[in-house]
Amino acid sequence: MITYNDFDKERLFKDDDFIEKKKDTDVRDDFERDRARIIHSSAFRRLQGKTQIMSPGYLDFYRTRLTHSLEVAQISKGIAIKHGLDSTVLEAISLAHDIGHPPLGHSGEETLRNLMAEYGFFESNAQNIRILTYLEIKALKENKSYGLNLTRAVLDGVIKYKRFLSKDNKKGIYLEHKEELEFIDPYYQDGQTPLESQIMDWADDIAYSVHDIEDGVRLSLINSIVIDKIGEYILKDAESQHIDKTFAEHILREFQEELYKIQKTNPFERKRLLKTFTSFRIHKFINATRIVENDKKRPNTQRYDYKLEIEDVAKWEVHILKSISKELFINDYRLEQLRHKLSFVIEELFEVLSQKDARKYYPDDFRYMWDVEGCHDNEQKRFRLACDYIAGMTDNFALKLHRRLFSPTNDGLFDIA
The answer to whether 17 and 138 are in contact (CB under 8 A) is: no
Q: Tell me, what's the pLDDT at 61?
A: 47
Residue 102 amino acid letter: P
Could you say which residues of the chain have pLDDT below 70?
52-62, 329-332, 409-417
Q: Tell me, what's the pLDDT at 143?
A: 87
DSSP SS3 for 236: helix
Long-range residue pairs from 128-131, CB within 8 A, at least 24 positions apart, any chain: 128/96, 128/97, 128/98, 128/99, 128/100, 128/158, 128/159, 129/100, 129/155, 129/158, 129/159, 129/173, 129/174, 129/177, 129/180, 129/181, 130/100, 130/174, 130/177, 130/388, 131/43, 131/99, 131/100, 131/392
Q: Tell me, what's the pLDDT at 229?
A: 84
- pLDDT tens, 38-59? 999 999 999 999 986 655 444 4
**Span(s) in the chain for CATH 1.10.3210.10:** 6-193
Q: How many residues does the chain have?
A: 417
Radius of gyration of the chain, Cα coordinates, nearest whole angstrom: 22
Contacts of 55 (CB under 8 A, 6+ apart): 104, 105, 107, 335, 338, 339, 342, 395
Q: Tell me, what's the pLDDT at 168?
A: 95
Q: How many CB atoms lie within 10 A of CB 70?
A: 17
Q: Tell me, what's the pLDDT at 382?
A: 98
* 6-193 is classed CATH 1.10.150.530: no
Q: Tell me, what's the pLDDT at 16?
A: 80
Q: Tell me, what's the pLDDT at 330?
A: 63
Q: Tell me, what's the pLDDT at 197?
A: 98
The answer to whether 37 and 150 are in contact (CB under 8 A) is: yes
φ and ψ of 318, to 5 deg: -60, -45
Q: Tell me, what's the pLDDT at 316?
A: 97
Q: Tell me, what's the pLDDT at 223?
A: 76
CA angle, corner 102, sides to 197 and 178, nearest 5? 50
CA angle, corner 340, sides to 337 and 342, nearest 5? 110
Pairing of strands 289-293, 306-310: antiparallel
Pairing of strands 144-145, 140-141: antiparallel
